[in-house]
Amino acid sequence: MNLDIWSIVILIIFFQGLFLLSILLLSAAKKKRKGSSFLIAIVIVLLWFLAEFFCIRNTIDVNFDLFYGTRYGSWFLLGPLVYFYTKSITSTQRTFSTKSFLHFIPFIVFVIIIPLSGGNILDQRQVHYGMLSVFDHRDKVISPIQYTYSILFITQFLHFGFYLLRNLMLLRKYKQDLALAYSNIGTHLKWTRIFNILLLFTLIFDAIFLYILLVTDIYRRHLDYIYVLPMGVLFYLISFYLINTEWQSIDKKVIKYANSSLTIENMAIHIEKLNELMEKKKIHLNNELRLHDLAQEMNLKNHHLSQIINQHFKLSFFDFINQYRVNEAKKIIQEHPEYTLIQVAFDAGFNNKTSFVNAFKKFEKITPSKFRESTIQV
């Protein structure tokens, strides 16, 4: 076997994935984190895909037909796994039940049950030249089951894309819920979104490859790598960001207060106390401030404080606190023009420069640096 540069890259990615898997399996702390079991399963499936691709491209025969699962629809497994991983970190409710197994029925039926019970159900041309070879112009005799699996080969990617879009919707809702309870949202949410978007791009690369193959009827081996190599980036993201994340929890009572016992009279009293607390005590300068902390300071229940901020100020807790921080930052910039922006950000209560710039632009419609330039000119 003569390894080319691309095969060597795949081997490097594969062993990086094995190293990541060993960390996930051997670290007791990481195994206890939310979604860790689904993350382990995702890594195993990605390793399977890489091993399958490597063996096919280097003509290594593995004497186990289901090892070549992509032919039968193994991507039916990845979609639900990524979905339940995302759901496990964005929901406080139980994420896996007996009904959840319904998501895995396509994989179980088409990749395990039928191939094991039906013998050699694929045409040799499908095996050696790809599942889409049944659609080329060459004369051939193809059985209904072989046509079915060729269609399933395409369907598995559409199925995967459906789950990725659901994941992005879950993450968007999770971010909105976090904004009701936290004054700073960790960057882990951004990396989880990137993880899903990168998977979506991998899917798009698959579609490009399949389109070129169908339209031109010419197989180009090097194009296979446009959907294989992004897996290396996925392993990188999982290794350095996702496995170390402590996910922020959400109190569902904060989100729903339709049956609140808070009266209009009490709300007016608490609003006055809240304004006094923010103006005089400047509790917003604490960059780890949570809704729970502020509620305790006011001797209120979390969902009552959330109700006051949402209904009276028409803001989420996240924006309510950041509005005060932006005003504080403006004062600091005016009084200390020599301060760096990162110093201004921390002094105003932000925990990173990106959050500071985004909040400043949201409320002032201008960047902090532009604001500082305008104050200096005046």
The residues spanned by each domain of the chain are 5-244, 251-314, 325-378
**Amino acid at site 84:** F
One-letter amino acid at 267 equals M
Q: What is the pLDDT of residue 154?
A: 84
More confident residue, 57 or 252: 57
- Superfamily for the 325-378 domain: Homeodomain-like (1.10.10.60)
Question: Mapped to the 3 state alphabet, what secondary structure does 276-320 carry?
Answer: HHHHHHCHHHCCCCEHHHHHHHCCCCHHHHHHHHHHHCCCCHHHH
Reduced to 3 states (helix: H, G, I; strand: E, B; else coil), residue 152 is helix
Q: What are phi and psi of 290, to 5 degrees?
A: -120, 165
Shared fold status for 5-244 and 325-378 = no
Which has the minimum average pLDDT: 210-224, 239-253, 272-286, 342-356?
Answer: 210-224
Amino acid at position 201, single letter: F
- Give Cα separations from 101 to 84, 97, 105, 108 (angstroms): 11, 7, 7, 10
CATH fold group of domain 5-244: Rhopdopsin 7-helix transmembrane proteins (1.20.1070)
Residue 135 CB neighbours (<10 A): 15
- CA dist., res. 80 & res. 181, Å (int): 29
Spatial contact of 127 and 110, defined as CB atoms under 8 Å apart: no
Q: What is the mean pLDDT of the chain?
A: 81
Count of residues making up the chain: 378
Which tokens in the block code for residue 186? 């960790």
**What per-residue string of b and e applies to 230-245 under the rule 16 or more CB within 10 Å gives b?**
bbbebbebbbebbbeb
Tokens describing residue 285: 């300068």
Instruction: Please tell me the predicted confidence (pLDDT) of residue 106.
Output: 94
Q: Tell me, yes or no, if the pTM score tops 0.75.
A: no
Dihedral in degrees, nearest 10, Cα atoms 139, 144, 145, 151: 80
Of the two residues 108 and 59, the one the predictor is more confident about is 108
Q: Is the pLDDT of residue 257 over 60?
A: no
Q: Residue range 323-334: average pLDDT?
A: 93
- At 199 the pLDDT is 81
The confidence score (pLDDT) of residue 258 equals 45
- From the list 285, 281, 273, 279, the residue with the least C-alpha distance to 351 is 285
Angle at 231 between CA 226 and CA 235, to 5 degrees: 155
Tell me the C-alpha distance between 350 and 326, whole Å: 9
Residues in contact with 236: Cβ distance below 8 Å, sequence separation at least 6, in sequence order = 16
Whether the predicted pLDDT of 358 surpasses 80: yes
Per-residue confidence (pLDDT) for residue 233, from 0 to 100: 79
User: In this model, does residue 127 exceed pLDDT 70?
Assistant: no
Beta partners for 182?
Answer: 290
Which residues contact residue 102 at a Cβ distance below 8 angstroms, ignoring those fewer than 6 apart?
Answer: none
Q: Taking residues 2-22, what's their average pLDDT?
A: 85
Is the pLDDT confidence value at 254 over 60?
A: no
Specify the higher pLDDT residue, 267 or 258. Answer: 267
Inform me whether the pLDDT recorded for 41 exceeds 70.
yes
The Cα–Cα gap between 48 and 271 comes to: 57
